[in-house]
Amino acid sequence: MPCHYPAHYRFDSESEAWQITFRDFPQQQAACYKREDVELEAQESLLTAIAIEMEEGRQVAAASTAQAGELAIALPVLVKLKLELHNQMLRAGASKAVLARQMGLNGAQIDRLLDVAYASKVEALEQALFLLGFEVHAEVVAIHQP
């Protein structure tokens, strides 16, 4: 699953703000007043959209490819792992309670493990994914700057 979600932005002269929308999350919108804040506002809004999908128990859709004129908004590594854990739990029909028992955690700890705003330990996410039959691999790639 790609780690960058596309965001479209445009200046709205009526509101005098930059309007931000997401093709993968059409219900999610954001706005900011400075062009230099668009990327940060888009990422914060994207994290909110992902959190809502997870809280409502829905699969989080894979990122579509950014098109010309769109920003590619990166997911933080922890959010990517939490999103994958959430989606894999749904696919496997794994309950939080069973996963908590397997990991020696309580319900509140599992809820935090899946909370995109909580700074979980990578090791705990790796363990949870391993219990579902997945390995985590990290990759560092060069960014090509114009």
35-94 confidence digits (pLDDT tens): 999 999 999 999 999 999 999 999 999 999 999 999 999 999 999 999 999 999 999 999
The answer to whether residues 97 and 111 touch, using CB atoms and an 8 Å cutoff, is no
Clarify whether residues 23 and 53 are in a common domain: yes
pLDDT recorded at residue 2? 57
3-state SS, residue 134 = coil
* 9, 65, 88, 90 from 111: Cα distances, Å: 33, 30, 15, 14
- Residue range of the domain that includes 126: 77-131
The domain total for the chain is 2
Q: Name the pTM for this structure.
A: 0.90
Clarify whether residues 69 and 83 are in a common domain: no
